[in-house]
Amino acid sequence: MSIKSRSDIPAARRIVVKVGSSSISGENAHQIEKLVTALAEAHGRGSEVVLVSSGAMATGFPYINLTSRPTDLPTLQAAAAVGQSRLIFRYQELLDNWNIVAGQVLLTSGDFDNESTRSNAALAMEKLLELRVLPIVNENDTVATQEIRFGDNDHLAALVAQLVTADVLILLSDVDGIYTKPPHEPGAERIEHVSSGELLEHVEFGSIGAAGVGSGGAGTKVAAAQFAAQSGTAVLITNAALVSSALRGENVGTWFDAASS
């Protein structure tokens, strides 16, 4: 269906939700249960839901005796390998309360560049959704090098939204939307609505996410939102703590209109 505003979200056929590491790890680890509850409610309404979840590396750090994000690639890859299985187990454990089955999907940017692997990924996602499985997507950080160094899951989420032709993409962060300047600065105002094609040239981007844990920020979220919107998917950026309100169509976050087809 055509999603024109926040209030249309509860009736969306297909929804992609992205959550960052800083929103579900460390002092915010408790938010994963709130996130799963909101996803389950949307799933229960009949929507097809895809979750793009960061957090594998952050989840793995304590299991390999790390207290902060390392700088060398092999340790990052090891943390991702350890953390990914624990992260997906935690999601499935919570989804069991609603009798929802999760399906793990690990992708790299190369999977989208290659026509064959992109097509295979699309077919797999379609089948999972047809079976009422809730796909949980993450970058395959254990084998992907560039993504760990420079990438973020905001762009991955936009690519996934395009891959599955989602009606709406919800990007969750630690801030309740995009502001005209970093929200802690005097005079910062939340932007409620971004029209299709609007460039936001007046916005001063700060960072979103806990330092040393996540890799995304306000700039990456806006870039991902604009990419998805141009591909025909409406986008909402809001705080992870407000995910239930977002999925219920309440007036939260920053809304990006989808480009007309």
Q: What is the pLDDT of residues 72-114, one digit of tens each?
A: 889 989 999 999 999 999 999 999 999 999 999 999 888 898 8
What pLDDT does 38 receive? Answer: 98
Q: Is residue 3 scored above 70 in pLDDT? A: yes
User: Six-digit token pair at 59?
Assistant: 């989840």
CB atoms under 10 Å from CB of 242, counted, come to 20
Q: Is residue 147 scored above 90 in pLDDT? A: no
Q: Is residue 213 scored above 60 in pLDDT? A: no
Q: What is the pTM of this model?
A: 0.92
Task: Give the DSSP per-residue string, 99-139.
Answer: T--EEEEEE-HHHHHSHHHHHHHHHHHHHHHHTT-EEEEEE
Q: Is residue 210 scored above 50 in pLDDT? A: no
Sequence-distant (6+) residues with CB within 8 A of 40 are 95, 97, 98, 100
What pLDDT does 145 receive? Answer: 62
Q: Is residue 144 scored above 80 in pLDDT? A: no
Question: Percent of the chain at pLDDT above 70?
Answer: 92
Q: Is residue 142 scored above 90 in pLDDT? A: no
Could you tell me the sign of the dihedral formed by the alpha carbons of 218, 220, 226, 228, in that order? negative
Sequence-distant (6+) residues with CB within 8 A of 31 are 23, 24, 240, 241
Model confidence at 61, pLDDT cuts 50, 70, 90, reads very high
Q: Which of 59, 162, 58, 61 is nearest to 107 (CA)?
A: 162
Asked if 160 and 16 touch (Cβ cutoff 8 Å), the reply is: yes
170 bridge partner residues: 17, 236
Structural domain spans, the chain: 6-256
pLDDT digits 0-9 by tens, 165-174 = 999 999 998 8
Asked if 236 and 246 touch (Cβ cutoff 8 Å), the reply is: yes
Give the DSSP letter of residue 33.
H
- Centroid of chain to Cα 69: 20
User: What span, in angstroms and rounded, lies between the C-alpha atoms of 189 and 185?
Assistant: 10
CATH class of 6-256: alpha beta
Please name the helix (run of DSSP H) or strand (run of DSSP E) that holds residue 94, with its range, or none: helix 73-95
Q: Buried b / exposed e across 176-198, counting CB within 10 Å, b at 16+?
A: bbbbebebeeeeeeebeebeeee
